[in-house]
Amino acid sequence: MKRFFALFLLSIHLFNTGGYTFAFQYFIHQSELSIIKNIYENKVDATQLVQIKVPVNNKGITNWPDYERVQGQIQLKDGFYNYVGVKMTQDTMFLVCVANSTKTKLFNANIIVAKNVSDAPLSKKGEAPAKKAPSSVSEYNNPVVSYSFLCFDDSVERIVIPISSKLTSPYIKSPGKPPNYIS
């Protein structure tokens, strides 16, 4: 009985230290699977679609005439979105997205639980210290790399010299008599 009680208290302690993270990650993963399943089965209503414009700097790309069916995820501010279509221009990337409200709620609840569990210092208002905001446009710059391959004019001549030697006698002299065959 004591062993069972000790294991029970240990499991509660381990769940409090790291189990919340695993539980939240599991439920976030399940919400991603469900929204992807809805996208594949075309159960997404057209009223749920949102168009997001992301400024980019792609000088070497031509403007796409229409949306390409590409799936992925993007996080903007406090929301998570699953995009179903992408259209690229030289200065803007257009994403057709579905808001993943379940993942957003779980992520925010996980942050609240993590703040209560961790020993991170909080500011006067009771919030975590603010992070440095990333630069707006330079974060999405994709540099264009061009390669040019040149052919050399002078080529090295290949000289093949066969290696061979003639044996004067095909027999090798032995210092003694070979051993007898034992049957």
In a domain, 31, yes or no: yes
Quick one: pLDDT at residue 142?
Answer: 60
Domain extent for 105: 2-118
Query: pLDDT at position 133, please?
Result: 54
Residues facing residue 87 across a β-bridge: 94
75 and 139 in contact (C-beta within 8 Å)? no
The verdict on residue 141 lying in a domain is no
47-56 residue pLDDT tens: 778 888 888 8
Instruction: With respect to residue 179, please indicate whether it lies within any of the assigned structural domains.
Output: no
Low-confidence ranges of the chain (pLDDT < 50): none
pTM (2 decimals)?
A: 0.50
pLDDT score for 137: 52
Does residue 163 sit within a domain?
Answer: no
Which of 50, 147, 138 is CA-nearest to residue 101? 50
103-140 pLDDT, tens digit per residue, is 888 777 766 655 655 555 555 555 555 555 555 555 55
Residue 15 CA to residue 34 CA, distance in Å, equals: 26
In a domain, 59, yes or no: yes
Domain assignment present for 102: yes
Q: How much is the pLDDT for 129?
A: 57
Q: Which amino acid is at 86?
A: V
Predicted local distance difference test score (pLDDT) of residue 144: 63
Q: Which pLDDT value is given to residue 181?
A: 75
